[in-house]
Amino acid sequence: MTLHPADQLAFDKAMVTQPVWNRFNTANDAFGLERNVLLHAGPAFGSPDLVTKPILNSACVAAVYEGIAKDFDQAEAMIMAGEIILKPAQDHDVVTPLAAVVSASMPLHTVYDAWRGAQRVYAPVNGGNRPAMRLGLRSEAVLEHIRWLNTRFVDVLQSGIAEGIALVPLAAVGLAGGDDCHGRTPVAGAALAAELIDRTPGGITDEDALQFMHGSPSLFLNLWMAATKCMMKLAEGINGSSFITAAGGNGAETAIQVSGLPGQWFTVTADAPKGDFDVDLPTDRALGAIGDSAVVDAFGLGAMSIELNPEQKAMIAGNLPDDATARASGLSVGAHPYFRALDLKLGSTARAAVTLGNGPMISLGILDRLGEAGRLGGGIYDMPVSPFREALGALENG
């Protein structure tokens, strides 16, 4: 398929980007987020009563963390009354995983384009394998972990950032070592931890933080989500371009945005990812696709780069669509200079999705729709073509 010139231009702009993590900012400091506004993954909910239970749970935890509610029950009442407002994170240049919610005073990784400096994207710190907010549970344990993560652990990370850490080279190390930069990130995570330890004057002496860092293979993920979104943002605003610049789900709907229509979501009802449960619960407990980590796969990594890792592909083969190989190559646009040795193409477009009749494959965790059991397992979300078709129609008729 011949690439549309507008899509090529958007892709080229995305590739000429050097995402670097250089500091922490709060959402209030970075872009003036108000205390009663909380940010969630995916597109907006039509009304408070439509908020999916895991995001509602995390929003209640965030409200108590922020100090705008005294307990979880009061927080829920304030959300339902419209006193606490939920908005899409990506509309504020923030990406957040699964059901994690961002509040005004939370420290966020700040990732900027070192080559041009004008674009910044933000992400919360990954909660690792402890009681993490991304799992959508309403508990004191989650609240306690968030408080530790955003104070003591952030102080440790801040001491090791130095002049900034370039993220694309770490992703390249991860990919060469078997990561897909979404569902699997331990190699890049270990490389990140090693760099932080090396850059910290006197080394890291906080044993709890070190244990958490080494026991959290997804430590790199949130940073890479922000790096990916930073590259996507640089591709926005190209007239007529169908290059994908946003992707995410809120558990009820999944959605995309395209370069030529910045800020406009195109949505579809979110089916649950296809995958095996790690717990003994019926399959109808699975929540629909959720999380802003879909940006990674829409950008060509994650499940879309599964051909790089035959071992991982064999493990999840039963959850992949029949045309997985054709889709991985057919949706992608071109090569990134750092990844050329891997024979890997990145990017995706609505035009290609409509031609193929399918959207990208997305590697996702599966959450309990009732917000009681947290993560049920992992799987593959096969994104329907309808939002891509709608976006292309809006471009052509606009």
Taking alpha carbons only, the member of 181, 188, 192, 29 closest to residue 120 is: 29
Range of the domain at 170: 18-226
> 279-285 contacts: CB < 8 A, separation 24 or more?
279/373, 279/376, 279/377, 281/368, 281/373, 281/376, 285/368, 285/369, 285/370, 285/373, 285/376
- Backbone phi and psi for residue 330, each to the nearest 5 degrees, phi listed first: -75, -25
Q: Which two tokens stand for residue 223?
A: 């940073």
The answer to whether residues 264 and 327 belong to one domain is: yes
The answer to whether residues 173 and 241 belong to one domain is: no
The answer to whether residues 219 and 331 belong to one domain is: no
pLDDT of 343 > 90? The answer is no
For residue 338, what pLDDT is reported?
79
The answer to whether residues 131 and 158 belong to one domain is: yes
Q: Encode pLDDT of 68-79 as tens digits.
A: 999 999 999 999
The answer to whether residues 201 and 263 belong to one domain is: no
Q: Encode pLDDT of 156-212 as tens digits.
A: 999 999 999 999 999 999 999 999 999 999 999 999 999 999 999 999 999 999 999
The answer to whether residues 250 and 205 belong to one domain is: no
For residue 1, what pLDDT is reported?
61
Segments of the chain assigned E as strands:
19-26, 37-40, 85-88, 107-113, 120-124, 165-166, 244-250, 253-258, 266-269, 274-277, 290-291, 334-335, 345-346, 361-367, 375-382
User: Given 226, 248, 283, which residue is the final one in a domain?
Assistant: 226
User: Given 159, 194, 226, which residue is the final one in a domain?
Assistant: 226
Q: What whole-number distance in Å separates Cα of residue 106 and Cα of residue 242?
A: 33
Supply the CATH number for residue 341's domain.
3.90.1700.10
pLDDT of 9 > 80? The answer is yes
The answer to whether residues 263 and 172 belong to one domain is: no
- Identify the band that residue 149 occupies on the pLDDT scale cut at 50, 70 and 90: very high
Arithmetic mean of pLDDT, 266-291 = 97
User: Given 226, 248, 273, which residue is the final one in a domain?
Assistant: 226
Mean pLDDT, the chain, rounded, equals 95
pLDDT of 280 > 70? The answer is yes
Count up the domains in the chain and report the number: 2
Q: What whole-number distance in Å separates Cα of residue 342 and Cα of residue 16?
A: 19
Q: Encode pLDDT of 305-316 as tens digits.
A: 988 877 778 878
For residue 27, what pLDDT is reported?
97
CA 207: distance to chain centroid?
A: 28
The answer to whether residues 302 and 370 belong to one domain is: yes
Task: Give pTM, 2 decimals.
Answer: 0.97
Q: What whole-number distance in Å separates Cα of residue 357 and Cα of residue 393?
A: 14
The answer to whether residues 159 and 241 belong to one domain is: no
Supply the CATH number for residue 156's domain.
3.90.1710.10
pLDDT of 33 > 90? The answer is yes
The answer to whether residues 96 and 164 belong to one domain is: yes
The answer to whether residues 71 and 180 belong to one domain is: yes
For residue 382, what pLDDT is reported?
95
- Identify the band that residue 335 occupies on the pLDDT scale cut at 50, 70 and 90: confident
The answer to whether residues 219 and 141 belong to one domain is: yes
pLDDT of 151 > 90? The answer is yes
pLDDT of 292 > 90? The answer is yes
pLDDT of 141 > 70? The answer is yes
- Identify the band that residue 373 occupies on the pLDDT scale cut at 50, 70 and 90: very high
- Are 349 and 240 in contact by the 8 Å Cβ rule? The answer is no
Token pair 């990140």 is found at: 192
